[in-house]
């Protein structure tokens, strides 16, 4: 088995250890490249092959493999489909609240090293960018903010200046898929074996940047609406691409809804606010109306952007709400299972009494 090939795909000692616990005689490790209409494209030492999850995924309601997952695949013959036996434990995953009125979790991609948060520099939305940064940090992913559509030097300088002021400390790259500005810098982050993903609103230019990195028009790109610069959700599936110098990038569809699943990234992203909060008079200060609040004082004296504090408040509230919803769902699920169990016991007793 060629380990060079696997390392190129991001294989490492942790996966190796898990794999040795799951492997069988005719199995091999493979990475999920794309998922589309019930078929999984897998890459492994034998090259790219299609696969389907084993029946147990359906019967036991196991979470299906997603782009970036490492799986234990079984199969012989060159053109037969592989069967996905297991998903190896994920190093991390990107998830969001499933769209709509549910509080279910939707995993978007797994085993990610770098997150490029792509924004249209002419329609900067720092609040949205911050949500992605929270998501990245909560998942132990290195975030890089990409300010796309900087077609002129002036735009690039302006966008970088705005970010330095409004999201201090973030790594930002000014880029243009049109002129090629910054594409090399973006690529330089994605070394051999590194997996990056591009996230950001529809129309920001994620697929255009991927095409720039690949040097081909591989991904279809879409028009944006003139009025509001919004995109049209051109990309519809998540897919992993290989860069010629090594490294992988995952394109994702622009997201209508994004919710950091894990709150642990929040403090990290708002370290400036956390540091100020240590000086508030009350330990449990909510930075709303309490006297002696160092955070609000910083806003008043102009050292903290009020928009940033507002965004912090909103994210905190949303996370609290989401957590309460998850608890509520778990409670309902437990009750349903208990009911089912009671019914089974009743059935069992009734049948036992029959002659």
Ligand X SMILES: Nc1nc2c(ncn2[C@@H]2O[C@H](COP(=O)(O)OP(=O)(O)OP(=O)(O)O)[C@@H](O)[C@H]2O)c(=O)[nH]1
Give every CB contact of residue 355 below 8 A, 6+ residues apart in sequence: none
17's tokens? 């250890």
Stretch that binds ligand X, among 27-35, 73-81, 204-212, 340-348 (CB under 6 A): 204-212
Phi/psi at 190 (5° precision): -105, 80
Which residue bears the tokens 């019914």? 343
Q: Which of residues 249-288 bind ligand X (CB under 6 A)?
A: 253-254
Q: Which does 285 bind (CB under 5 to 8 A by kind): Mg ion, Zn ion, ligand X, none?
A: Zn ion
Phi/psi at 219 (5° precision): -95, 135
CB of 170 to Zn ion, least distance (A): 24
Q: Is 309 one of the binding residues for Zn ion (CB under 5 A)?
A: no
Q: Is 235 one of the binding residues for Mg ion (CB under 5 A)?
A: yes
Q: Which of 287, 311, 312, 319 binds Zn ion (CB under 5 A)?
A: 287
- For residue 90, give the nearest of 189, 18, 9 by alpha carbon: 18
From the CB of residue 80, how many other CB atoms can be counted at a distance below 10 Å?
10
The span from the CA of 153 to the CA of 302, in Å, is: 29
Could you tell me how many helices (H) and strands (E) the chain has, helices first?
A: 11, 13
Q: Is 238 one of the binding residues for Zn ion (CB under 5 A)?
A: no
- 32 DSSP β-pair partners: 42
- Provide the H-helix boundaries in the chain: 3-8, 13-22, 55-59, 126-138, 153-166, 183-188, 206-214, 265-269, 271-277, 294-300, 306-353
Q: Which of 178, 330, 341, 344 binds ligand X (CB under 6 A)?
A: 178
Give every CB contact of residue 316 below 8 A, 6+ residues apart in sequence: 266
Burial class (CB in 10 A: 0-12, 13-18, 19+), 158: middle
11's tokens? 């294989």
Stretch that binds Mg ion, among 28-36, 61-69, 149-157, 234-242 (CB under 5 A): 234-242
The span from the CA of 80 to the CA of 142, in Å, is: 38
3-state secondary structure of 142: strand
Q: Which does 195 bind (CB under 5 to 8 A by kind): Mg ion, ligand X, Zn ion, none?
A: none
CB of 255 to Mg ion, least distance (A): 11
Q: Is 203 one of the binding residues for ligand X (CB under 6 A)?
A: yes
Q: Which does 280 bind (CB under 5 to 8 A by kind): Mg ion, Zn ion, ligand X, none?
A: Zn ion
Stretch that binds ligand X, among 81-89, 99-107, 128-136, 225-233 (CB under 6 A): 225-233
State which residue, 139 or 148, has the beta carbon closest to ligand X: 148
Q: Which of residues 124-153 bind ligand X (CB under 6 A)?
A: 148-149, 151
Q: Which does 96 bind (CB under 5 to 8 A by kind): ligand X, Mg ion, Zn ion, none?
A: none
225's tokens? 């609406």
Q: Is 308 one of the binding residues for Zn ion (CB under 5 A)?
A: no
Q: Is 111 one of the binding residues for Mg ion (CB under 5 A)?
A: no
Stretch that binds Zn ion, among 20-28, 95-103, 214-222, 286-294 (CB under 5 A): 286-294
Q: Which of 124, 134, 204, 213 binds ligand X (CB under 6 A)?
A: 204
Q: Which of 121, 173, 280, 299 binds Zn ion (CB under 5 A)?
A: 280
Q: Is 207 one of the binding residues for Mg ion (CB under 5 A)?
A: yes
State which residue, 137 or 206, has the beta carbon closest to ligand X: 206
Q: Is 141 left (phi over 0), alpha (psi -120 to 50) or beta?
A: beta
State which residue, 8 or 229, has the beta carbon closest to ligand X: 229
Q: Which of 206, 287, 296, 308 binds ligand X (CB under 6 A)?
A: 206
Which residue bears the tokens 């949500």? 131
Q: Which residues bind ligand X (CB under 6 A)?
A: 148-149, 151, 176-178, 202-208, 221-224, 231-235, 253-254
Q: Which residues bind Mg ion (CB under 5 A)?
A: 206-207, 234-235
């Amino acid at each position: 088995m060629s380990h060079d090939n696997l390392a190129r795909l991001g294989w490492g000692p942790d996966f190796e250890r898990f794999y040795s616990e799951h492997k069988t005689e005719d199995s091999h490790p493979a990475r999920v490249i794309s998922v589309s209409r019930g078929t999984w494209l897998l890459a492994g030492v034998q090259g790219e092959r299609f696969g389907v999850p084993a029946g147990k995924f359906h019967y036991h309601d196991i979470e299906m493999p997603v782009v970036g997952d490492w799986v234990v695949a079984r199969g012989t013959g060159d053109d037969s489909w592989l069967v996905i036996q297991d998903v190896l434990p994920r190093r991390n995953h990107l998830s969001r609240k499933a769209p709509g009125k549910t509080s279910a979790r939707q995993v978007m991609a797994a085993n990610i090293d770098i997150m490029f948060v792509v924004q249209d520099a002419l329609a900067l939305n720092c609040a949205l960018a911050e949500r992605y940064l929270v998501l990245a940090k909560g998942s132990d992913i290195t975030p890089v903010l990409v300010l796309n559509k900087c077609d002129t030097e002036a735009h690039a300088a302006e966008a970088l200046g705005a970010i330095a002021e409004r999201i201090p400390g973030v790594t930002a790259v000014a880029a243009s898929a049109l002129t090629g500005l910054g594409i090399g810098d973006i690529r330089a982050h994605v070394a051999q074996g590194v997996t990056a993903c591009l996230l950001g609103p529809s129309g920001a230019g994620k697929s255009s940047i991927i095409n720039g990195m690949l040097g081909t028009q591989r991904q279809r790109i879409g028009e944006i609406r003139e009025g509001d610069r919004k995109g049209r959700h051109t990309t519809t599936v998540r897919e992993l691409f290989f860069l010629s110098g090594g490294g992988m990038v995952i394109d994702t569809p622009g997201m209508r809804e994004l919710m950091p699943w894990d709150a642990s990234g929040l403090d990290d992203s708002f370290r400036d606010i956390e540091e100020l909060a240590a000086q508030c008079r009350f330990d449990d200060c909510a930075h709303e109306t309490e006297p002696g609040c160092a955070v609000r004082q910083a806003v008043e004296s102009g050292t903290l952007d009020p928009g940033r504090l507002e965004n912090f408040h909103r994210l905190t509230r949303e996370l609290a709400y989401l957590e309460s919803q998850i608890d509520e769902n778990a409670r309902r699920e437990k009750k349903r299972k208990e009911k089912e169990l009671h019914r089974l016991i009743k059935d069992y007793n009734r049948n036992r009494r029959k002659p």
